[in-house]
Each structure stands twice: as C-alpha cells, then as structure tokens.
Structure 1
Amino acid sequence: MLALTGCSQSAPDDSATADAASGTADGAATVFAAADRVGAPEITGTDLDGEEISLTDYTGRVLVLNIWASWCGPCRAEQPVLDEVHAEYRGLGVDFLGVNTKDDETAARAYTKAQEVAYPSLYDQPGEITQAFRDTVPPRAIPSTLVIDPEGRIAARVIGATTYGQLTGLLDPIVVEYGLGDPAQRPRAADQEATPSPGPTAEASEAGGR
C-alpha cells in the first residue's frame, strides 16, 4: 500500500528512486466525525530555524500538519498544493506546520529555501514525531497530512500526496464548523496569479514623457 501512496520512510540510495515515486496515485483521505476525533499527541520540537514549536501553540486554530522529506518525490510534487492552500486559508484561522523526518538537515533547509516555503517545519530526523502519530498514520507513510481542529483533535488525514481539491474539501467543513469564516469567499491564489499587473496611469505616462 505504501508503494502506491508515497515514499518509504528511509532515504533512497539515489534521487532516481524518489523521482520514480512522483507519479503515484493521490493520497487516501479519512474524515473523522466530531464525536470520533481523538486528541493529537502533545508534541514539542525545534524547527529548521532553531525555534521551539509545540502543537499547543496552535490551539484555537485549524492546523494542517504535513509530514515530508526532501528526498521524497511525492512530497516535492504536492508542495505547490500546500503553498496554494496555505496562502488561501491563512485568513480563515488555518495554520500549516511541516514535519521533516528521516532527512538530512542541510538538505531540508535547502529545500524549504529553494521552494520558498512560507510556514515552519519541525526537524524530526529520528522519526519520533511520526511514531507519536502511529495510531493515526503509519510512520513509514511519507508524505502524509493531518488536519487538526481548534480543540487539538485529529479531524482528517491523508496518507500519500494530497491534491488541492482534496485538501480544501477537508478544510472547508472544519472552518465552517468553528465559525472561522466563509471558505467560499477566500481569495484564490490562482485568480491572483492570473490577474495582470495594472499598466501605468495616464498621469504616470504623461509624467514619464516630460
């Protein structure tokens, strides 16, 4: 099953192995009803910038927790999706936090810098954080994504690479459930990118010609 949804949680011998996984199927999502949600483990760690972060820091907000590694092809493939959803939902009480696991710290930092990832990632080289979530997500399933509600409970999971439609579909009900806003009114990153920059005003053009 893991071969169909993501990478094995051990660094491949070469990049070709990771790239070969980038064409795998989309991840399998599970939604937990409010009455069936269990609390997320009490996790505290250090991010790639050396800052200490705890899951309790996000109490009162929705948290998207994404488990990734720089050598994982599907992780790289889903990064634009995570970036787009993060940009659209940050005004709706939604935060993102990565968990970089079984990875080289230098490679992980280079990845987040090159990809201009706008949210932090905990560095979890030993895989202790993924082990803490083993009752919800298999520790070897990379990438995986968890949606944690404002009360610190696991509301949904995706094992494997997520998609824009899948992730927004998991977030929308949680945002509405907690009265954090109307997801339908969020600014769309794709629309903003498609909007051409306004040309110079008549005044500016006239001034430029003087």
Structure 2
Amino acid sequence: MSPALPRRRAFLLVTAVAAAGALTLTSCGSGGTSGGSGDTKFVTGTGGISTVAKSGRHAAPKLSGETVDGKQLDVADLKGKVVVLNVWGSWCAPCRAEAPYLSKVAKETRSKGVEFVGINTRDTDKGPAVAFEKQFEADYPSLYDPIGKLILRFPKGSLNPQAIPSTIVLDKDGKIAARALMALDDKKLHQMIDPLIAEK
C-alpha cells in the first residue's frame, strides 16, 4: 500500500470532522441541549431551556447593525428591559413553526417591559426575510446577519446560540440569562421570560 494513502485517509477524516463542526450552527433542526460543566454556571432543565442564576451571568456582546427593514438598531439601547433574541432564517422550517408564538408573546409581554429582537441569518438576500416577517406578523425588528458575524460574538462558555433557531433572553442588566436551542411555543417562551420580568 502506498504511504500516501494513510495520510490521505487521515486528512479526509480531519476535514470531515471540521466540516461537521462548521455545520452545527448552520443546521436547522429541533436543536439540542447543552448542560453546564466545568466552570460554566448554567443548568439545562428537562424542557431543553438553560438558565443562569443572576450572580453567574455574562454580559451580552455588542449586537448592533442594520435591520432587515434597513434601520439601525443597537441592543444595548434596550438595557432596563428584558430582551428576547431569536436567531432565525426564512429557509428554516422550525423557525417558521415557532414564528407565530414569538409574534404572539412579543405582543403579550411588551407592556411588561419586554422587547423582542430577531437575528436573521443565512439569508443572502433580504427579500425572503422581509416576506417571512410580513407573513408571521413579526412587528419587532430583526438584525440582518447573513454570514453569522453577530452570532459569533457570543463568548464561548456562555449561553451562546449553537443552532438555528436559538432563543436567548437577556435580563434587565443586559446579561445572558436563558437559552433554548430549539423551536419554542408560547408556554416555553413564558417559562423563559416571566421569571426575568419578576426580577428586581
């Protein structure tokens, strides 16, 4: 056997593993769970929602830029409110499944000091994203992040988005408090949001 063959097989294996890792964030599925270990301070409940005690939360990264409808938005300006960040793509079936619930709960909780912000990703053109927002009556803004730059700003070891869809909830201090790596219904959204509304 040629000595080049084992090297070629090893190279192909490494390439395949790297490609699988890169696909984790671009995949569109039911998501998964990620429990705390080592020095992480978050806990994943049986419903797939991870939470962090107030004392162990990390500040959210800077999330600003142009929205799908061409306006400017800086999430830091929403400090003092509970902020629900939803990572979505118009091409993603689970995103479409959860969209009506997101719109519903956004309307229900706005008067309680909750703001929803989408992060639209992997849509190389704004057209389908605009159509998605119109179809599902999403009356909250979405940052346009076609290549995932904003998503990659979340620090490793925090409750960072790892799938599409992902939903991350920031507390009133702008810190990462909860995360779900799956499509959500209204009940699960309230499970993530309501305790943070009640926090002093």
Q: Which runs of 5+ in 1 are unaligned?
A: 1-6, 12-17, 179-210
TM-score normalized with structure 2 length = 0.74
Alpha-carbon contact 1:63-1:97 (below 8 Å) kept: yes
Tell me whether 1:82 sits opposite 2:102 in the alignment: yes
Alpha-carbon contact 1:9-1:102 (below 8 Å) kept: no
Alpha-carbon contact 2:61-2:155 (below 8 Å) kept: no
Alpha-carbon contact 1:137-1:144 (below 8 Å) kept: no
* Amino acid in the other structure paired with 1:46: E
Kindly state the Cα deviation for residue 134 of structure 1 after the two structures are TM-superposed. 5.2
Alpha-carbon contact 2:26-2:163 (below 8 Å) kept: no
Larger radius of gyration: 1
Q: Deviations over 1:112-158 (max 9, x none)?
A: 12222110100000100111125235655000001101111001011
TM-score normalized with structure 1 length = 0.71
Q: Which residue in 2 is equivalent to 1:155?
A: 177
Counterparts of residues 159-178 of structure 1 (less than 5 Å) = 159-178=181-200
Aligned residues: 162
Alpha-carbon contact 1:137-1:159 (below 8 Å) kept: no
Q: Deviations over 1:67-125 (max 9, x none)?
A: 00000000000011101111110010000000001113111111112222110100000
Question: Within 2, Cα distance between the matches of 1:117 and 1:146?
Answer: 17
Tell me whether 1:39 sits opposite 2:64 in the alignment: no
Question: Within 1, Cα distance between the matches of 2:112 and 2:88?
Answer: 24
Moved over 6 A (4+): none
Q: Which residue in 1 is equivalent to 2:11?
A: none
Q: Which residue in 2 is equivalent to 1:116?
A: 137
Note the aligned Cα RMSD (angstroms). Answer: 2.1
Q: Which runs of 5+ in 2 are unaligned?
A: 1-22, 33-46
Tell me whether 1:94 sits opposite 2:90 in the alignment: no
* Amino acid in the other structure paired with 1:169: Q
Q: Which residue in 1 is equivalent to 2:147?
A: 126
Within the candidate set 41, 44, 48, 2:68 is matched to 48
Q: Which residue in 1 is equivalent to 2:16?
A: none
Alpha-carbon contact 2:159-2:178 (below 8 Å) kept: no
Residue identity (%): 41
Question: Within 2, Cα distance between the matches of 1:109 and 1:121?
Answer: 10
Question: Within 1, Cα distance between the matches of 2:199 and 2:159?
Answer: 24
